[in-house]
Amino acid sequence: MSTHKVGPDITVLADCLEVPGIGFLPINAFVLHAEQPVVVDTGLGLPDRDFLGTLGSVVDPADVRWIWLTHPDRDHTGGLFALLEAAPEARLITTFLGAGIMSTERPLPMDRLYFLNPGQTLDVGDRALHAFRPPLFDNPATVGFYDDRSRTCFSSDCFGGPMPSAEIATCTDVGAVPAEDLRAAQRLWASVDSPWVQLVDPDRFLTTVDPLRSMDPQTILCTHLPPAVGLTTQFIDTIAAVPGIDPYTGPDQAALEQMLAGFEPGGPQ
């Protein structure tokens, strides 16, 4: 993992994971350096990741007051329980559904939960965080938010896209990616992560995009994309056109056997 700042108030904890046949998927967490510090998502839980150590390089975990879990998928919850232990004053922001999903794996400290639904607002001392449901999502508990002080939208999975290399996946500005390549990556991710979008009515879907136009964020921070500054119109135009997109179909068993044939047991991979 690596870290970099986006403006004076936000630190990105950048990571990625190679997905064969798709590319390198960014997997970010964030620290919002508000009066009451907020950690947004907690990264991967793989044995070689040290989320808490990386987080500790930018903020003392004991100072964290809020953990905003955009949804309880495993690429967002890797460091969650270690952080809850290291940040005894922190409350975990999720939804009723999110808490239920997480409780099937490990009991949650119920007295530390804070249920926040789309349309509601959280005061973190020096700013208000406005919760909303992103237009694209893969989990019913998904809740992103808009920080009106930094003009930043934390969009969870929405707007994500695989990148061609680990270096680009963890870079400081996705604006370095050519616009057409970025659009193709975001459309691919929409077909992978939100396959239901092939079934929606385009006009009804556009009503879920309108709140983003109203926010007019200067910066979009997606879990699965490098930071995006000044690209809101481009991003909205991209996702507004995804209804009816063909869902992604992954390799079948024959393709898996072909891939495995290239590996020797115990040999280099």
d(CA 218, CA 151): 5
Residue 145 corresponds to which amino acid? Answer: F
Q: Both tokens of residue 250? A: 């992954």
Q: What is the pLDDT of residue 112?
A: 97
- CATH homologous superfamily of 2-259: Ribonuclease Z/Hydroxyacylglutathione hydrolase-like (3.60.15.10)
Taking 90 as the threshold, does the pLDDT of residue 3 lie above it?
yes
Residues 133-143 as b/e (b if ≥16 CB within 10 A, e otherwise) read: bbbbbbbebbb
The tokens for 49 are: 């990741």
| pTM, full prediction | 0.94
pLDDT of 265 higher than 70? no
CA nearest 41: which of 26, 58, 29?
A: 29
Q: What is the pLDDT of residues 186-219, one digit of tens each?
A: 999 999 999 999 999 999 999 999 999 999 999 9
End-to-end CA distance of the chain: 22
Exposure of 104 by Cβ count < 10 A (0-12 exposed, 13-18 middle, 19+ buried)?
Answer: exposed
Task: Tell me what pLDDT residue 82 has.
Answer: 95
Q: What is the mean pLDDT of the chain?
A: 95
Share of the chain above pLDDT 90, in %: 92
pLDDT of 233 reads 96
Helices and strands of the chain, counted as H and E runs: 8, 15
Determine the pLDDT at residue 115.
98
Measured between alpha carbons, how far is 197 from 17 in angstroms, rounded to an integer?
A: 24
* pLDDT at residue number 123: 98
pLDDT tens track for 138-173:
999 999 999 999 999 999 999 999 999 999 999 999
The pLDDT, as a whole number, for residue 136 is 97
Q: Which residues pair with 213 in a beta bridge?
A: none
C-alpha gyration radius of the chain: 18
Q: Provide φ and ψ at 117, rounded to 5°.
A: -105, 155
Query: What pLDDT score does 86 carry?
Result: 97
Question: Measured on CA atoms in the order 65, 6, 45, 196, is the torsion positive or negative?
Answer: positive
Provide the β-strand partners of residue 14.
Answer: 2
